[in-house]
């Protein structure tokens, strides 16, 4: 079991920045990739970014490339999402998720295959 707790959400004006954190506990040695997703009412979760826990490779969704940066601490148990140049369309509930199988990390944007999820943190960007 892996437990995930997100933090850092809030309200910001367009063009501003926020930094989200996701702290993992439990079976952290089994983590293979950690991802950020976001969801607005009535829509499916959208893959924002992922980072491989051993190795550090990163991948991003097209809508956030060049604006968001995913990173992790040295222990690999906390993942960050630095969000710059925020837009109103970035408003969503942001979730952290973990895969413990390498083959699932290849298709990281498929939210249906993730076994472990955090409770989410709200990000609101006003124009």
DSSP labels, 46-85: EEEEEEETTT--EEE-TTTTTTEEEEE-TTSSEEEEEE-S
- The number of helices, as runs of H, and strands, as runs of E, in the chain is 1, 11
Answer whether 123's CB lies under 8 Å from 10's CB: yes
pLDDT digits (tens, 9 = 90+) for 36-88: 999 999 999 999 999 998 889 999 999 999 999 999 998 879 999 999 999 99
With H, G, I as helix, E, B as strand and everything else as coil, classify residue 119. Answer: coil
Per-residue pLDDT, 74: 84
């Amino acid at each position: 079991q892996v437990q995930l707790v997100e933090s850092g959400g809030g309200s910001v004006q367009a063009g501003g920045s926020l930094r989200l954190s996701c702290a993992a506990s439990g079976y952290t040695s089994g983590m293979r990739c950690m991802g950020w997703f976001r969801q607005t009412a009535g829509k499916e979760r959208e893959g924002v970014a992922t980072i491989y826990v051993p190795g550090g490779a990163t991948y991003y969704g097209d809508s956030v490339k060049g604006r968001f940066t995913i990173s992790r601490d040295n222990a690999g148990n906390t993942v960050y999402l630095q969000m710059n140049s925020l837009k109103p369309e970035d408003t969503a509930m942001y979730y952290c998720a973990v895969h413990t199988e390498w083959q699932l990390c290849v298709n990281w944007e498929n939210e249906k295959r993730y076994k472990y999820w955090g409770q989410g943190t709200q990000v609101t960007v006003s124009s």
